[in-house]
Protein backbone atom coordinates (compact mmCIF):
# COMPACT_ATOMS: atom_id res chain seq x y z
CA UNK A 1 0.00 0.00 0.00
CA UNK A 2 1.29 3.46 -0.77
CA UNK A 3 2.38 5.72 2.04
CA UNK A 4 0.04 8.41 0.74
CA UNK A 5 -2.89 6.01 1.18
CA UNK A 6 -1.80 5.14 4.72
CA UNK A 7 -1.52 8.81 5.65
CA UNK A 8 -4.96 9.51 4.18
CA UNK A 9 -6.53 6.60 6.05
CA UNK A 10 -4.81 7.52 9.32
CA UNK A 11 -6.05 11.10 9.01
CA UNK A 12 -9.58 9.85 8.34
CA UNK A 13 -9.42 7.78 11.52
CA UNK A 14 -8.20 10.79 13.48
CA UNK A 15 -10.92 13.02 12.05
CA UNK A 16 -13.54 10.51 13.15
CA UNK A 17 -12.46 11.26 16.73
CA UNK A 18 -12.50 15.07 16.28
CA UNK A 19 -15.86 15.24 18.04
CA UNK A 20 -14.42 13.64 21.20
CA UNK A 21 -13.93 16.53 23.66
CA UNK A 22 -11.35 14.60 25.69
CA UNK A 23 -8.14 14.61 23.65
CA UNK A 24 -6.66 11.68 25.56
CA UNK A 25 -9.70 9.56 24.70
CA UNK A 26 -9.47 10.64 21.05
CA UNK A 27 -5.81 9.62 20.87
CA UNK A 28 -6.62 6.37 22.63
CA UNK A 29 -9.35 5.72 20.05
CA UNK A 30 -6.93 6.29 17.19
CA UNK A 31 -4.35 4.04 18.85
CA UNK A 32 -6.89 1.29 19.43
CA UNK A 33 -8.11 1.43 15.84
CA UNK A 34 -4.60 1.22 14.43
CA UNK A 35 -3.76 -1.71 16.72
CA UNK A 36 -6.99 -3.57 16.00
CA UNK A 37 -7.41 -3.07 12.28
CA UNK A 38 -4.02 -2.26 10.76
CA UNK A 39 -1.39 -4.90 10.13
CA UNK A 40 2.03 -4.50 11.75
CA UNK A 41 3.45 -3.86 8.27
CA UNK A 42 1.03 -0.97 7.73
CA UNK A 43 1.93 0.59 11.08
CA UNK A 44 5.64 0.11 10.41
CA UNK A 45 5.35 1.72 6.96
CA UNK A 46 3.51 4.71 8.43
CA UNK A 47 6.16 5.10 11.14
CA UNK A 48 8.90 5.00 8.48
CA UNK A 49 7.04 7.64 6.48
CA UNK A 50 6.71 9.83 9.58
CA UNK A 51 10.46 9.55 10.24
CA UNK A 52 11.31 10.44 6.65
CA UNK A 53 8.83 13.33 6.37
CA UNK A 54 8.64 14.69 9.92
CA UNK A 55 4.98 13.69 9.89
CA UNK A 56 4.07 16.67 7.73
CA UNK A 57 0.40 16.53 6.78
CA UNK A 58 -0.43 13.92 9.39
CA UNK A 59 -3.01 14.67 12.06
CA UNK A 60 -1.26 15.23 15.42
CA UNK A 61 -3.55 12.67 17.09
CA UNK A 62 -2.09 9.97 14.83
CA UNK A 63 1.48 10.96 15.68
CA UNK A 64 0.62 10.95 19.38
CA UNK A 65 -1.14 7.60 19.09
CA UNK A 66 1.91 6.04 17.47
CA UNK A 67 4.42 7.76 19.72
Containing structural domain, residue 2: 1-64
pTM comes to 0.93
pLDDT tens digits for range 19-36: 999 999 999 999 999 999
**Domain count of the chain?**
1
Q: How is the chain split among helix, strand and coil, in percent rounded to 5?
A: 80, 0, 20
Statement: residue 67 has pLDDT above 90: no
Q: What does the buried/exposed string (b/e) look like for 24-55 if buried means 16 or more CB atoms within 10 Å of the residue's CB?
A: eebbbbbbebbeeebeeebeebbeebbeeeeb
Amino acid sequence: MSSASLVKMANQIAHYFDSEPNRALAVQGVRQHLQSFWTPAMRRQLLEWIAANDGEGLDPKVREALG
